[in-house]
Amino acid sequence: MRKTSLFNDGWIFEKPGFLAEAVTLPHTWNAKDGQDGGNDYWRGTAGYKKTFARPALSADERLFIEFKGVAMEARVCLNGTEIAYHAGGYSAFRAEMTPYLQEENLIEVSVDNSNNDRIYPQKADFTFYGGIYRDVSLITVKQAHFELVKDGTPGLKVTPVVDLEKKCAEVTVEAWANAGGSIVFEIEGEAGILRETAALQDGYAKAVFTIENVRLWDGLADPYLYTARAVLYAGNGADKEALDEICTRFGCRVFCADPEKGFFLNGRPYPLRGVSRHQDRYGIGNALGMKEHCEDMQIVRELGANTLRLAHYQHAQEFYDLCDENGIVVWAEIPFITMFMQNGRQNTLTQMKELVTQCYNHPSIACWGLSNEISAASVVDETVLENHRELNELCHRLDPTRPTVMAHAFMLEIESPLIPIADMASYNLYFGWYLGELSQNEEFFDEYHAKYPDRVIGFSEYGADANPAFHSKDPQRGDYTEEYQCLYHEHMLKLIDERPYLWATHVWNLFDFAADGRDEGGKNGQNQKGLVTMDRKLKKDAFYLYKAAWSKEPFVHLCGSRRVDREEEVTEIKVYSNQQKVALYVDGKLFEEKEGERIFSFMVPISGKHEVKAVSGGLSDTMTVVKTEKPNEDYIFNKTIVVNWFDKEDYKPEYYSIKDTMGELQQHPETAAILEGMMAKMRASRGDVAEASVNNANLQKMMARMTLESLLKQAGSVPEEAVRALNGALQRIKKS
């Protein structure tokens, strides 16, 4: 029968211009330079090679090699003959080695993560790590075996169809093999084993089972898994010797999304409330192992999320397995992202075909994501629409049981023809972080829902960066403080609670992650919208807001423990808890007890060093605060432009200035011309946001309410003299 063994040891890694080094897989060559900022991580073609003796194979045995993830493009040669080519950094692929084996063998894998115009992703806010970053295995099978190569298939496809009324499930199990006479199919659950034998016809066989009194895969409450097995025989199954065996777990559930009532699981309302995750970790890049996957899932479970958006690509099978086992509903997607590439059409179809083929059996996966913010750097023209129609049809052909979805950029007008192509839509909104006001988030969804009441809509991304080193008693949008991130998410959680029609909401992001092109918020190379730091060592205060909303595990959490020094006379002590009552003790004495839900705020006079303790039942959390004369400078992220010189200088309110909104400034031809000049300069300086989005009418409509001053603040380090010059020019123009 089949034998699988890891093939990770003893590789030599060679990067042009560098000494060869011995490595053990999984490996990425961007573990360091992909996370330290500068947008300069090494991208190119590197090589991995390994020599190995001919494995012992009997005459009727065949040897295959399996790569679970090689980013982004791979060519595999065995003893000088190319045995595999794969374009796409996130799906598995296999190749047969048998015909090319010698006594001594050399396998060489050329891996490329260069910039190109045909393999997605090429433009996005995360590091495109290069390397053989997931396990490699050897698989020994008999001459007759289940399919291994086509689209990296698991060889077995299980389609459960549940009838909730009758409490039963009709389970179709299909398998593909290159030879053999029959297949014995089994499904196994707590009630025992059901078995069917089917003859192989043209390399295909299927069996249909009915599970009476089916135990549902019921999300967090009961993620029950059955096992499906297929055993290949030469003859009609009566033979004793089995040729090959494969198995997979599966779950019986019913998903649906209603435009008004949101998401349903197994016939009951089940609002999907959760977070997103990128597959990387501080210091090891994307070369994650089971340890990292399990740690991430533990944090997801502590948070109490019931859904994960596994962005922006196919994640490791091990992690989808963990979602199956933990009852986490998953949004799976391909990296068709940010910028449309004319030469990338085939690659979107290949990546989607492999995602669906390889992940079909996971009960946790609820939908297939076609693209993410594809309008951000591209005009949505007919070729873009056509590529999405093809992807949508491909998904429905490969998997009639799951809906498709897209994540749209906030500047995509809601009337766009792109939106109705997929079965469902979600939007990535960043009002209250990148631009605009927090209230624009709910205004957006209410406008969309009113205009399209029969369309399913969700909230696929929202977030605010926070560096745990930065703090403020007056948190502001763009200050990168934990306090602002908390205020931001308190607002979001409320708007989400008030809108059950949102089929799914996903905080962007559960974890800080590497974006080597970033240099913001005091951490070069990181996107800090995470609720948890990239090393997983620190849960930011906002993490506990969602824990208070979603987790049943009793806790109390004092916010602001990292803001020890406080200049104010009376300071807010905020507590997040999923308990109804919280008592606050200051220096051992009961200060106040409050009843509430999730957020408990106490105003405490301070005059020296104080021990603060939050208590609820047997639960408690403590911290120290110290009254200081002035703000602790270490808490302030100083790259943010502080245009306080402006308030001192006398400015003429009857003339235009940076205090006016973009909408007002667009009204006057002269000020509009000045704005256009400034925007042209900003476009030139921002590589990742192309013409299309900055000129986007929808974006301008959204920016209209922003003052030019707040836009400049948000743009980050705009030199003060440039701001003075701009303001001076505006002050010469009298308001009409």
Indicate which residues carry an active-site annotation: 373
Tell whether residue 375 is a contact of ligand GCU (CB under 6 A): no
Of positions 209, 320, 336, 508, contacts ligand GCU by CB under 6 A: 508
Scan residues 268-327 and list those touching ligand GCU (CB under 6 A). 312
Shorter beta-carbon distance to ligand GCU: residue 387 or 527: 527
Scan residues 456-475 and list those touching ligand GCU (CB under 6 A). 461
Shorter beta-carbon distance to ligand GCU: residue 373 or 660: 373
Tell whether residue 709 is a contact of ligand GCU (CB under 6 A): no
Shorter beta-carbon distance to ligand GCU: residue 182 or 485: 485
Residue 707 CB, shortest distance to ligand GCU, in Å, is 22
Of positions 372, 440, 671, 727, contacts ligand GCU by CB under 6 A: 372
Scan residues 196-255 and list those touching ligand GCU (CB under 6 A). none
Calculate helix-pair angle for 290-303, 541-550, nearest 10 degrees: 60
Shorter beta-carbon distance to ligand GCU: residue 124 or 559: 124
Of positions 378, 428, 485, 533, contacts ligand GCU by CB under 6 A: 428
Residue 338 CB, shortest distance to ligand GCU, in Å, is 7
Shorter beta-carbon distance to ligand GCU: residue 124 or 643: 124
Q: What is the DSSP string of 246-287?
A: EEEEE----EEEETTTEEEETTEE--EEEEEE-S-BTTTBT-
Residue 372 CB, shortest distance to ligand GCU, in Å, is 5
Tell whether residue 529 is a contact of ligand GCU (CB under 6 A): yes
User: Which residues make Cβ contacts (< 8 Å) with residue 457, sequence separation at least 6?
Assistant: 259, 424, 425, 426, 427, 445, 448, 449, 501, 502, 503
Of positions 292, 373, 483, 512, contacts ligand GCU by CB under 6 A: 373
Shorter beta-carbon distance to ligand GCU: residue 347 or 375: 375
Per-position b or e across 332-353, b if 16+ CB within 10 A of its CB? bbbbbbbbbbeebbebbbbbbb
**CB neighbours (10 Å) of residue 487?**
19
Shorter beta-carbon distance to ligand GCU: residue 597 or 691: 691
Shorter beta-carbon distance to ligand GCU: residue 120 or 226: 120
Residue 390 CB, shortest distance to ligand GCU, in Å, is 22
Give which of 188, 209, 189 is closest to 197, Cα–Cα: 209
- Distance between CA atoms of residues 271 and 304, nearest Å: 13
Length of the chain: 736
Work out the end-to-end distance of the chain between its first and last CA atoms, rounded to an integer number of angstroms. Answer: 85
User: Which residues make Cβ contacts (< 8 Å) with residue 263, sequence separation at least 6?
Assistant: 255, 256, 257, 269, 270, 271, 272, 329, 503, 504
Scan residues 109-128 and list those touching ligand GCU (CB under 6 A). 124-125
Residue 579 CB, shortest distance to ligand GCU, in Å, is 33
Of positions 347, 527, 578, 671, contacts ligand GCU by CB under 6 A: 527
Contact, 124 vs 337, CB < 8 A? yes
Residue 529 CB, shortest distance to ligand GCU, in Å, is 5
Classified as helix, coil or strand, 444 is helix
Residue 142 CB, shortest distance to ligand GCU, in Å, is 45
Residue type, 349: L
Give which of 328, 501, 320, 329 is closest to 425, Cα–Cα: 501
Scan residues 142-171 and list those touching ligand GCU (CB under 6 A). none
Residue 152 CB, shortest distance to ligand GCU, in Å, is 25
- What is Dmax (Cα atoms) for the chain? 96
Shorter beta-carbon distance to ligand GCU: residue 153 or 467: 467
Query: What CA dihedral angle connects 382, 383, 384 and 386, to 10 degrees?
Result: 80
Task: Show the tokens assigned to 158.
Answer: 């299980």
**CB neighbours (10 Å) of residue 289?**
15
Residue 635 CB, shortest distance to ligand GCU, in Å, is 23
Q: How many CA atoms lie within 13 A of 510 on its CB side?
A: 31
Q: Give CA angle at 70 (145, 22), nearest 5°.
A: 105
Q: How many residues make contact with ligand GCU (CB under 6 A)?
A: 10
Residue type, 599: I
Shorter beta-carbon distance to ligand GCU: residue 8 or 338: 338
- With residue 672 as reference, give the H or E element that holds it: helix 669-685
Classified as helix, coil or strand, 681 is helix
Residue 232 CB, shortest distance to ligand GCU, in Å, is 43
Phi, psi of 507 (to 5 degrees): -60, 135
Calculate helix-pair angle for 669-685, 720-731, nearest 10 degrees: 160
Task: Show the tokens assigned to 309.
Answer: 């958006």
Measured CA distances, 144 to 98, 121, 141, 241, 358 (Å): 14, 37, 8, 12, 21
| Residue ranges binding ligand GCU (CB under 6 A) | 124-125, 312, 372-373, 428, 461, 508, 527, 529
